[in-house]
Structure 1
Amino acid sequence: MGVQTPLDEMGSAVPRRPAPAATAPLSLLQRRMWHLCTAYPGTASPIVVIANRITEPLDVPAFTAAVRALADRHDALRTTFTIGADGPRQVIAAPGGLDTEQVDVSGQDDPEASARELVAELAGALLDLDGGTLVRSRLIRLGADDHVWCLAVHHLLADGESAMVLQRDVTALYRGEPLPEPPIGYADFAAWQCANADSDADLRWWAGHLAGVPPLDLPLDLPRPPVKTTRADQVDLRLDAAAAAALDAFARSRRATPFMVLLTALVTVLARRSRQADFCVGTPVAGRLLEETEEAVGLFSNMIALRADLSGEPGLGELLARLRTEVISGLARQGVPFGQVVAAVDPPEDRSRTQLFQVIFSLHTQTAGGAPGLRWQPFGQAAPQILHDLVLDAWRGPDGLDLTLRYDTGLFTADTARGLAAEIAELVRTMPADDGQPVFGAGARHG
């Protein structure tokens, strides 16, 4: 849900380094992700996964050659890290391709189940950040003209937009279509961002705006451990096309977006459960504010913290108006790396929860049919583990709205998670017809 900013508003263009270098600093965005990957123990790494089922005749040698060329094209896929006296640095290998592991499960009793296990194994791997392999490609044969390709990339090296770039590029390479060189590599961006990381008015705004925000203190089913863990499960719900259309129409009538309406429903449920009138919800933004980054692969996505103000007994409509202003203000300042925001706010150290916000919300737009030139569909995978207490994902498609609530199983039971998801969905259904209802209800106590 990022917004694009004209290049001249962001300063000079990102230059390519004079000559390819073997190492590069971490970008400011990578520094924040590095902290998240190393500050909390877990059994999996944050991984961006492409998993697609290809249901047409596939020239396997040509496809694996396309994957090798993909790694030669994007330096992020050839990157590992080394840790020295000054901390981590990126190590960029020379072009040399990326091998694709080939697995044939066509003879198994349930080839599809076997393929899902192989995809889940890649998606749930614990990768070695100190020089280890951070990109893996696997092609699984389920039968004649039936394959699953899985590409797993550590989140330090890629984001959701990168996955779209990689899918487009591998298709073009497989078809033998010419591709222009990417304007920059990720190492170029990292060096540029570090050299231009001056404090500015936007950072000062974030520091003032988020000063003193309390953590969200939801009632828990289990004691919060002293150090945050990554255990997770998920609840899935679907709202039909009529409910999704009503949400869209309601958003338009309030000069808002569906994201803002869904955020209002989420914030309302969190406020009612916690009895709090002040807390933050995090949301990712694309972060590709420079033209040169649009076709690059790397970690450009950023996070912004949206502060919910529920003072003065607002109704749902008033809360929507407040959150609309908050979202617009936050997006206008999305270029500040979140790690800098955290450092400026300097919240009290607490390893039992993530900093500034404990809940994340994202709205995605479903796109049909994979990439041109290959007949493929997304191949489902197990939910990745999470560092935050709750993560709500919404997908708006032509047939309705899908909601997935991922939750920390060390804090919440499945019954509680199902109840939270059901409350959010019910508010989405009823808000268009009853936006005057109070957030907290008559006589509610809150801080």
Structure 2
Amino acid sequence: MQVVPRRATPAATAPLSLLQRRMWHLCTAYPGTASPIVAIANRITEPLDVPAFTAAVAALADRHDALRTTFAVDADGPRQVIAPPGGLETEVVDVSGEPDPAARAQDMVAELAGALLDLDGGTLVRSRLIRLGPDDHVWCLAVHHLLADGESAMVLQRDIAALYRGVPLPEPPIGYADFAAWQCAGGGDDAELRWWAERLRGVPPLELPTDLPRPPVKSTRGGQLDVRLDAPDAQALERFARQMRATPFMVLVTALLTVLARRSGQTDLCVGTPVSGRLLEETEDAVGLFSNMIALRADLSDEPSLGELLTRVRAVTIDALARQAVPFGQVVAAVNPAEDRSRTPVFQVIVSLHTQTSGGTAADLDWRPFGQATAQILHDLVLDAWRGPDGLSLTLRYDTGLFTADTAAALAGEVVALLRAMPDDAELPVLPVAARHG
């Protein structure tokens, strides 16, 4: 069994992990007006001991070395620089006297979540506590995506609640610097890397019609819109997935691929999906960039029906998940696609399905999520879906340098229409007759 060793003394510097190397490339090859940021924003509606809470935030940074990390760039490239424990300052702001405190807090959260952070030695973690009124606060923690992922956000929320309440926490088995050093020293699985290289060799770029000319260097400004599938339709979709020995995620991918095929006319399509990457026990309670990407390349030739395409997507997904440990940056290097700064390599669309979780009362801390805007998109399109008791909520983020809001709304509407139709008409052709024979 693989084990990540913890260093005998805390690390002052570390190489970038293989996952960070890819993210660094994305952040520097496609410069934008904002940084990819993992943001926690929660509204706390209970009496709050502000000094105790800010002390808990400081202790959170002492606990997780990723929150004390910056980057330095020298002749050998970027490296992680880990500061010694010394806490993290929380900016405390009182907006209770403003005409609309909640709106003002929303703007302040969006400002943190949409900041452009300096990767060369700059501060990459910011904490802000906003007072809306008596027993009403919003806490926002913004962390550069190089230092954290979605699973990290859940670890941080759990830990801050425990630290505030004084609940004892065991020492994390490893710090992210330990993981990065271990991963860079490992040899990897050459057979699995060769499988990916063969699987993705010659993958074509997505030629989706755009409203605006594709610029020579991809922009990163994004818009987003929300649509939903109500509970009866979502339940029918889940029953259909079970009947097809598939998962709702596979059905979602099938619907998205169908829309992309109909709009582009292509039958060789590739989309990406994130995976947690926490395959080792030591990483479960750590904060850092562990999430990986896998590519799902689908063959839509031979005029498949929706049901037939779902069967193909199922097989592709199972094969890809079995090899998810290979860092996607290594996959890209092995595939070696032609240099094209107007697109992200291998795939230009991302899709993911999440299980919706309520705000809850972590360690009896009464808080709920406080919405935020997503300011940056590194790919052309990103489709996120959340399963909850009220149905399936979908958010489509899109590159505003390529698509208008009307086009994005039409595209999202087509996905939802297919998700509604598929359980009752799996024999519907993926490509209409005109597209197949025109």
Q: Shorter-chain TM-score: what band?
A: over 0.9
1:49 aligns with 2:21: no
Q: Which residue is equivalent to 2:377?
A: 386
Q: What is the distance in 1 between the residues matched to 2:125 and 2:151?
A: 16
Q: Percent identity?
A: 79
The total of aligned residue pairs comes to 437
CA distance in 1, matches of 2:130, 2:197: 48
How far residue 387 of structure 1 moved from its aligned partner, in angstroms, is 1.3
Question: 2:217 is paired with a residue of what secondary structure?
Answer: coil
Q: How much does 1:199 deviate?
A: 4.7
Determine the structure 1 residue equivalent to 2:59. 69
> Among 113, 136, 143, which residue is 1:123 paired with?
113
Q: Tell me the SS of whatever aligns to 2:80.
A: strand
After superposition, where does 1:19-418 map in structure 2 within 5 Å?
19-370=9-360, 371-418=362-409
Amino acid at match of 1:394: A
Picking from 417, 421, 433, the partner of 1:426 is: 417
1:71 and 1:19 mapped to 2: Cα distance? 17
- The answer to whether the 8 Å contact 1:251/1:257 transfers is yes
C-alpha distance in 1 between matches for 2:188 and 2:228? 44
Q: Is the 8 A contact 1:275 1:446 kept in 2?
A: no
State the one-letter code of the partner of 2:408. A
Q: Secondary structure at the match of 1:433?
A: coil
Partner SS, residue 268 of structure 1: helix
| Equivalent AA in structure 2 for residue 163 of structure 1 | A
Deviation at 1:446, TM superposition (A): 7.8
Show structure 1 runs of 5+ residues with no match. Answer: 1-7
Query: Higher mean Cα deviation, 127-136 or 365-374?
Result: 365-374
Cα distance in structure 1, aligned partners of 2:321 and 2:421: 28
Aligned counterparts of 2:215 and 2:42: Cα–Cα separation in 1 = 37
Deviations 1:416-441 (A, max 9, x none): 11100000000000100000011002
Instruction: Mark the runs of 5 or more structure 2 residues left unpaired by the alignment.
Output: none
Q: Deviations over 1:112-158 (max 9, x none)?
A: 00000000000000000010000000000000000000000000000
Counterpart contact for 2:165–2:363, Cα < 8 Å? no
Cα displacement string for residues 34-54 of structure 1 (whole angstroms, at most 9, x for unaligned residues): 000000120000000000000
> Are the aligned partners of 2:226 and 2:395 in contact in 1 as well (CA < 8 Å)?
yes
How many angstroms apart in 2 are the aligned matches of 1:383 and 1:45?
Answer: 10
SS of match in other structure, 1:141? strand
Q: 1:151 is matched by which residue type in structure 2? A: L
Q: Secondary structure at the match of 1:388?
A: coil
Moved more, 368-377 or 234-243: 368-377
Instruction: Say if 1:432 and 1:114 are closer, same or farther in 2 by CA, change over 3 A.
Output: same
Normalised to the residue count of structure 1, the TM-score between the two structures is 0.97
State the superposition RMSD in angstroms.
1.0
SS at match of 2:132: strand
* Aligned partners of 1:281 and 1:305 also within 8 Å: yes
Structure 1: how far apart are the matches of 2:254 and 2:109?
A: 35
- Rounded to whole Å, the distance in 2 between the matches of 1:445 and 1:161 is 42
Amino acid at match of 2:120: D
- CA distance in 2 between partners of 1:368 and 1:132 (Å): 34
Distance 1:16 1:117 in 2: 40
Tell me, yes or no, if the aligned pair for 1:277 and 1:446 is still in contact at 8 Å: no
- 1:374 counterpart letter in structure 2: L
TM-score (norm 2): 0.99
Q: Describe the shift of the 1:177–1:372 C-alpha distance in structure 2 as closer, same or farther (beyond 3 A).
A: closer
Give distance in 2, aligned partners of 1:307 and 1:384.
28
After superposition, the C-alpha distances for 1:389-431 in whole angstroms (9 at most, x for unaligned) are 1000101111111011111111111111110000000000010
Structure 1 residues 198, 365: CA separation in 2 closer, same or farther (over 3 Å shift)? closer
Following superposition, the deviation at residue 279 of structure 1 comes to 1.6
Q: Secondary structure at the match of 1:330?
A: helix
- Secondary structure of the 1:343 match is helix
